[in-house]
Amino acid sequence: MRPTARGWTLLAVALVLYFFANQTQVGWLYVLSAIAGGIWLTALFIPRGMLGRLSLVRRINGAAMPDELELYAGQPVTLDLELVNAGRMPALQVRGVEACPFAPVADRTLPFFAPAAPARASVQLHHETSSARRGWFEFPPVTLTTAAPFGFFSARRQVNVPTSVLVLPEYRELASLALLDRMPAAENTFAQIGLGGDVVGVREYRPGDSRRHIHWRSSARAGQLIVKEFAQETQPGLTIALDLRAASVVGVDENTSLELAIKLAATLARYADRRGLPVTLAANSRQWPAPFGPSSWWALMNYLARVQAEGDESFADCLQGVATQGVAAILTAPDQAAVEPLVELRRSGLGVLAVVIDPAPFLPEGSNLPDQVEAVTGMLAAGGVSVRVIGGEPDWERTLCAEDEHA
C-alpha cells in the first residue's frame, strides 16, 4: 500500500484545513478537515481488501496443465487468464502485467486491465501471441495493482500461478532426402572396422587388444604382434551430429546459427522417423551429452528443445564410432577441422551429408568475417560428401531436399 499523488493532496488539504481551523476557531473548518481525514483513512484499507481475495488461472492454448501442451517454436499461442474474485466485494480497476517468457520480445510483457471483477465471480482475459523461442520456461508471478475506488491509495500484490512450459523446436516436412531415400533398408553392404565376423585386414597390436585376435603367422613374419581387424555391420538409420561449440555460434537472441541448426536437426530427425528409421544424436558437449543410442521422437525433441552451445570440444570427437548407414553433420559455422573426419566416414562406405550454415545472415551489417564457406564445402565435395549450404533463406527445407549436382 502506498498513497498516490491524489492521496497526498487530500492529506495535505486535511492538514491545511485543520491548521486554519485551529488558528481561527471556525467550526466548519474543523468539520471539513475531519471529513477529508476520514475519507483518507477509509480509503487506506479498501484497495488492499479488493486484491486480497483475487487469484488467477492460466491457460495456454486452452490447456491449464503444462503436461497437456505440445507447443512448438513458431506456432501461434493463445494465452488466457481467468481473474477469480473469491471475496464479498467487487474488485475494481485491476491492472496487471503478464510476462510470457517464450513470446517475441515485443509481446513478452502483456499488460491487462479489468474494470470490474464481481464478487464471487471471474473475469476472462485473452491474449494472442506466438512462441518465438524453444526451451524450458517458467512463468514469473503476476503483479496486480489497483487504486480504486478513489485513487488515493495504490495496492500491489503478486499472484503466483506456477506454470512451466517446454517449447519444442520448429521442424519442417521434407518431400525427399537423398541421404535416406537411397539407403538400403535392412542389410548392410558396407564394411567398417569393428568386431564383426569377417576379417578385413591386420594391423600392429595396441594396448587393450584381445590376445584372441592376434594373427600369429603375420606376427612371426613381422617380428612383432599383429592383430586381425574385423568388419562391423552398420545398421540402417541416421546419426545427426550437432556442433555445439560456443565459439561456432554466430548471431544474437533467437537469430543465431545454433537456432537454425536445431531446426535443421529436428527436420532431419522428423523425416527419418517418418520412414521408420532409428535416429541417433551425437554432440560435442560435456554439459549437454546426447542420449545414448537410437532415441524416440519425443526424446530427440526434448533434447533439442533444451540444448545450448557450451564448451569447446572438437566436433570431430562426436563423429567417432558411428554405427548407422547415414550421417548428417550440421556445422553451425564452417569448420575445416571437421572436413577430414567426414571424408573418412564417406570413404568407409557410409552416406554422409554435411549441412554448413552460412554465418553471413547472422552477422551485423558491416561485419567482416573471413569467407570460409566456399573453401570448406569445396573440400567436402571433393571427398565425396554431399553438401548443403543454408543461410537466411526462408524456405531452407527446399535446399535440404535438393539433389546433388552429380546425382
Asked if residue 231 has pLDDT above 70, the reply is no
| DSSP classification of residue 214 | B
6 domain residue, yes or no: yes
Domain check: are 35 and 106 in the same one? no
Asked if residue 114 has pLDDT above 60, the reply is yes
407 domain residue, yes or no: no
Residue count (the chain): 407
Cα separation, 266 vs 305, whole angstroms: 10
Q: What is the mean pLDDT of residues 17-33?
A: 90
Q: Which three cell numbers stand for residue 126?
A: 485473452
Give residue 194's pLDDT: 47
Domain check: are 122 and 106 in the same one? yes
Percent of all residues in the chain with a pLDDT value above 90, rounded to a whole number: 56
389 domain residue, yes or no: yes
Q: Which residue has the higher pLDDT, 336 or 210?
A: 336
Domain check: are 208 and 308 in the same one? no
| DSSP classification of residue 4 | -
Cα separation, 367 vs 361, whole angstroms: 11
The range of the structural domain enclosing residue 77 comes to 53-168
Give residue 192's pLDDT: 43
Task: Name the pLDDT band for 80 (thresholds 50, 70, 90).
Answer: very high
Residues 6+ apart with CB under 8 A from 310: 244, 246, 285, 287, 288
211 domain residue, yes or no: yes
Residue 163: exposed, middle, or buried by beta-carbon count in 10 A (0-12, 13-18, 19+)? Answer: middle
Domain check: are 18 and 125 in the same one? no
Q: What is the CATH number of the domain that holds 69?
A: 2.60.40.10
Residues 6+ apart with CB under 8 A from 280: 237, 238, 239, 240, 290, 293, 294, 295, 323, 324
61 domain residue, yes or no: yes
173 domain residue, yes or no: no
Task: Name the pLDDT band for 142 (thresholds 50, 70, 90).
Answer: very high
Domain check: are 325 and 369 in the same one? yes
Q: Which three cell numbers stand for residue 182?
A: 537411397
Q: Which residue has the higher pLDDT, 272 or 203?
A: 272
Domain check: are 103 and 164 in the same one? yes
Give residue 188's pLDDT: 39
Q: Which residue has the higher pLDDT, 304 or 219?
A: 304
Which residue, 243, 386, 218, 255, is CA-closest to 317?
243
406 domain residue, yes or no: no
Domain count for the chain:
4
Domain check: are 239 and 135 in the same one? no
Domain check: are 86 and 200 in the same one? no
Q: What is the CATH number of the domain that holds 239?
A: 3.40.50.410
pLDDT-wise least confident of 190-204, 254-268, 322-336, 370-384: 190-204
Task: Name the pLDDT band for 292 (thresholds 50, 70, 90).
Answer: confident
Give residue 183's pLDDT: 64
Domain check: are 361 and 248 in the same one? yes
373 domain residue, yes or no: yes
Mean pLDDT of the chain: 86
Domain check: are 277 and 338 in the same one? yes
Q: Tens of pLDDT along 298-353?
A: 999 999 999 999 888 888 888 887 878 899 999 998 989 999 999 999 988 889 99
Domain check: are 203 and 143 in the same one? no
Domain check: are 303 and 381 in the same one? yes
| 3-class secondary structure per residue, 51-90 | HHCEEEEEEECCECCHHHCCEECCCEEEEEEEEEECCCCC
